[in-house]
Amino acid sequence: MSLLRLGIKSLWSRRFTVGLIVLTIATSTILLLGVERVRQSARASFVSTVSGVDLVVGARSGAIPLLLYSVFRIGNATNNITWESYRDFADRPEVKWTIPLSLGDSHRGYRVVGTNADYFEFYQVGRKTKLEFSAGKRFDDIFEVVIGAEVAERLGYKLGQSIVISHGLGATSFADHDDKPFTVSGVLKPTGTPVDRSLHVSLEAIEAIHIGWEQGVKIPGAQRSMNRIRPGELEPKAITAFMIGLSNRIQVFKLQREINDYREEPLLAVLPGVALQELWGLMSVAEKALWTVSLFVAAAGFMGMIAVFLAGLNERRREIAVYRAVGANYRQIIFLLIVEAGVLTMIGILVGLFLLVLGLWLFQGLLETQFGLFLVLSLPSSTEVKMLFGLLVAGLVSGMVPAYIAYRNALVDGLTAKS
């Protein structure tokens, strides 16, 4: 006990150095557990990019390409779906709602999504959160557009501003629908999903801006003003994809089979959750890289801890020699240094946990809305407990290095001044 009291006093006399060691371990704890939580949250957020949707339907290609262009707005569809085929399934009694999607246009690099009012009513992200407006309302007029949060922030758009949609998906386009500009009617709140990077217009608007176009090419003199367009011309002829919500989810596999076997045209229906898991599997390399980086960060922290211990060991030569002089054997010296490393590691872990919880509490809302990461405040999981135990063991092992060197130092080495 006397030796432990001396050890505590020794720690207090070196409180600045000890504080640096504790801060190093706390930082390693925050980064290791923080990266693990971000990794798990990224997986959960990725899978919940769109929620509450039972089926996503598009032209027959593959589950991942269909998911990429319909949910993530990346790439192009191999073909469109006729409006008649869409209405055939939308009118089924087991179908509660549908969200049609028409893609192919853009605005300064951001995708334009043609849809209807059901998009704002039934489209959900994250933990089944509906889309909300930070300003304005959904489109009512044909030439009104609802923009995502990132579009509004990056391009500085506000309500009532006039914008021109371009044909195609490039950031720079030479085929603009400048004869039919749109007015911003609403701005959506941040969701941390591709919705933030999209502009939303009505399906009728998509048809209207393409009157006078053939195969993506503007026919000179063929454009017409709205007062010369007949109402029947604005009914969609084809869409890119559509989403389905069922009254009873038990029927999802039956309807999926019917869509995949549809004889009128080749269609593909996928369960978004399954397809998202499959897509995440393709990104496992990035997940493993993130995990490897966190391990290297922790290892670097403990290497720094060993370096600090060794740097201070030369200053403690006399202190250790005094321990030996008053009767402490080499086992007690080793035990004291290892316990010291263990105590500092434990304190560093507790400080790191406290700072991590505090950070999650302060920035939870910001991470959810801006980045789509749903980091919840909860007790450490079994994986995180194993990580903490590994950190503690690593701290004890780190203390063995200076303990072994101190053991090898002779009593006279600490009491004799070196020239």
Over residues 177-195, the pLDDT tens digits come to 777 889 999 999 988 788 9
Q: Which two tokens stand for residue 313?
A: 């060991």
Q: Does 208 score more than 70 pLDDT?
A: yes
* pLDDT (mean) for 207-218: 68
Q: What is the per-residue pLDDT for 410?
A: 47
* pLDDT (mean) for 54-77: 89
Residue 151, classified by CB atoms within 10 Å of its CB into exposed (0-12), middle (13-18) or buried (19+), is: buried
| Whole-number Å distance between alpha carbons of 185 and 181 | 13
* pLDDT (mean) for 338-351: 85
Q: Are residues 216 and 331 in the same domain?
A: no
**Model confidence pTM above 0.85:** no
Q: Are residues 402 and 320 in the same domain?
A: yes
Element at 245 (helix H, strand E) = strand 241-246
Domain ends where: 225, 247, 270? Answer: 270
Q: What is the per-residue pLDDT for 191?
A: 84
Most confident of 115-124, 229-238, 385-394: 115-124
As a whole number, the mean pLDDT across the chain is 81
Domain ends where: 242, 270, 298? Answer: 270
The confidence band for 412, taking pLDDT boundaries of 50, 70 and 90, is very low
Q: What is the per-residue pLDDT for 115?
A: 95
Q: Are 344 and 312 in contact (CB under 8 A)?
A: no
Q: What is the per-residue pLDDT for 407?
A: 66
Most confident of 77-91, 216-230, 306-320, 356-370: 77-91
Q: What is the per-residue pLDDT for 328?
A: 67
Question: Comparing 224-233, 264-273, 292-301, which segment has the lowest mean pLDDT?
Answer: 224-233
| Whole-number Å distance between alpha carbons of 331 and 196 | 63
* pLDDT (mean) for 141-148: 92
Does residue 345 belong to any structural domain of this protein? yes
Q: Which two tokens stand for residue 401?
A: 């290095």
Q: Name the percent of the chain lying above pLDDT 70.
A: 78
Q: Are residues 33 and 101 in the same domain?
A: no
Q: Are residues 75 and 200 in the same domain?
A: yes
Q: Are 185 and 145 in contact (CB under 8 A)?
A: yes
Q: Are residues 223 and 135 in the same domain?
A: yes
Q: Are residues 93 and 114 in the same domain?
A: yes
Q: Cβ atoms within 10 A of the Cβ of 329, count?
A: 11
Q: Which two tokens stand for residue 197?
A: 């990077």
Q: Are residues 210 and 356 in the same domain?
A: no
Comparing 362 with 44, the larger pLDDT belongs to: 362
* pLDDT (mean) for 160-184: 79
* pLDDT (mean) for 102-130: 89
Closest CA relative to residue 405, chosen from 298, 307, 258: 307
Q: Are residues 264 and 342 in the same domain?
A: no
Does residue 278 belong to any structural domain of this protein? no
Q: What is the per-residue pLDDT for 215?
A: 54
Phi, psi of 283 (to 5 degrees): -100, 15
Does residue 120 belong to any structural domain of this protein? yes
Q: Are residues 60 and 190 in the same domain?
A: yes
* pLDDT (mean) for 297-320: 71
The confidence band for 120, taking pLDDT boundaries of 50, 70 and 90, is very high
Q: Are residues 228 and 306 in the same domain?
A: no
Identity of the residue numbered 393: V
Q: What is the per-residue pLDDT for 159?
A: 94
Q: What is the per-residue pLDDT for 222?
A: 52
Helix axes 284-313, 330-371, angle to 10 degrees: 140
Closest CA relative to residue 352, chosen from 28, 18, 16, 6: 28
Question: Comparing 6-10, 62-66, 136-140, 214-218, which segment has the lowest mean pLDDT?
Answer: 214-218
Domain holding 185, by residue range, is: 55-270
Instruction: Please list the residues that pair with 115 across neighbouring strands.
Output: 202
Instruction: Tally the domains of the chain.
Output: 2
Domain ends where: 212, 238, 270? Answer: 270
CA gyration radius, the chain: 31
Does residue 66 belong to any structural domain of this protein? yes
Pairing state of beta strands 124-125 and 129-130? antiparallel
Q: Does 71 score more than 70 pLDDT?
A: yes
Q: Are residues 63 and 97 in the same domain?
A: yes
Does residue 276 belong to any structural domain of this protein? no
Most confident of 29-33, 47-51, 223-227, 296-300: 29-33
Q: What is the per-residue pLDDT for 244?
A: 95
Does residue 279 belong to any structural domain of this protein? no
| Whole-number Å distance between alpha carbons of 316 and 313 | 5
Q: What is the per-residue pLDDT for 291?
A: 74
pLDDT, tens digit, for every residue of 223-241? Answer: 555 555 655 667 888 999 9
Q: Output DSSP code: residue 248.
A: S
How many CA atoms within 13 Å lie on the side-chain side of 125? Answer: 24
Q: Does 172 score more than 80 pLDDT?
A: no
Q: Are residues 245 and 349 in the same domain?
A: no
Q: What is the per-residue pLDDT for 229?
A: 63
Does residue 277 belong to any structural domain of this protein? no
Does residue 223 belong to any structural domain of this protein? yes
Cα 302 to Cα 297, 309, 415, distances in angstroms? 9, 10, 30
